[in-house]
Amino acid sequence: MMSKLRNLSSERLPHDVVIDILTRLPVKSLIRFRCVSKSWYSTITDPLFITKHLNLNNKAKSLSSNDNHNGFLLYTHDKQLYTAACNDDPTLTLTLTEVCRFQIPFPVDMVDYCNGMFLIFGSRDTLIYLWNPSIQKFKMLTIADGRNGYSLGLAYHCQNNDFKILKIVLNSIFCNNKGPRFEAKVYALSAGLWRRIEFSVESIPNLGSILEIQYEPFLFFNGALHFMAYTWGENNTNNFILSFDVNDEIFREIRLPENYLDRFIFDYQAVHKLVVFKGSLALIVFGPPVFDYEDGDVLDKCDIWVMGQYGVVESWTKKTVGLKRIKNFFGCTESGQLLIMMPPGRTVSYDPESLYENNIGISSPNWMAYTTDLMESLVLLDHK
């Protein structure tokens, strides 16, 4: 096989034609074909080739439809990353078929997933990693801030075929009243360094008054990272969504419905989760638990707020459902099924329309995410 490939590259086709063919091959084949010749090794590990291959994969992904209701669950358990194909048709019972699994070589905490890349915490507070499991390559990033002092989000910058990490960090000089409470930093994989950016929003002149942000991974949607933020209002806190456009690197405010916390006596009783729900930005608000006298059980009330038109505050709509004893919430499938862990560790999909609950057969996952495609790439292959 390898001798035939050598003949193909050296005798039959022009070099630019060979490169064009290679960019259309799957990652596993390209990893093997590095052994064909020094020329092929140099080509496949070249940053320009890696970028071209990634760009073609993204174009193929955007042209393909998801009308067959297929998607993939990614989850970790016992130091392994599993990928499983699932039918995401709300009219059918969600079933899983394992596609592959990867051994995670050291203790980690998953943070985020985007376009085939994972952002993970290492065992030390000052280390995070970018991981491309399709080529089993890690990129270690050192950060000066402790794990409890910041929040992170991973994004794909489609205009530049680049990956970016946004970090909102608690400002160490804030305690001495010498600066704003938070500052923002961005890491671009292509540049390989952290840089400070302006943490400001035109609609909020005094952004330094932000009281708190949500300390969990940011949501990447519509070319921007999204997270909850809180400022002081007249009588209580003012809650809103901050978005960070990865192209122009500008923060923008997305307002929430004025009445979205009306059923809560205290704002702190509400647990906020930003998700993509049926292709739209959505906010899921959990709590507080209530006793259901009909079933004789405790229910966690769940408000699903969906922004029908992105950025338009008047387009928010709400649906409320009652869920029994939620232990963890992982997100949504594309059809809008909620992925939830119930005690003691049973994972279910829940359809808020039909109220149908389905045990998907995954016990006590440490982390879980849903994606419409399994993106493979050569990203990080050119990194030491």
Q: Please give the average per-residue pLDDT across 183-202, as a whole number.
A: 90
pLDDT at 215: 82
pLDDT at 173: 54
The predicted-structure confidence for 141-185, as pLDDT tens digits, reads as follows: 988 665 557 899 999 999 998 999 999 987 765 555 555 678 899
Q: Predicted confidence band at 9 (pLDDT cuts at 50, 70, 90)?
A: low
| Per-domain boundaries in the chain | 2-61
Give which of 120, 203, 213, 119 is closest to 171, Cα–Cα: 213
Q: Would you say the pTM of this structure is higher than 0.95?
A: no
The predicted-structure confidence for 97-115, as pLDDT tens digits, reads as follows: 999 999 988 888 899 999 9
The predicted-structure confidence for 124-136, as pLDDT tens digits, reads as follows: 777 899 999 999 9
Cα–Cα distance between 71 and 117 in angstroms, integer?
17
Which CA distances in Å does 288 have to 144, 181, 270, 328, 347?
37, 29, 7, 15, 21
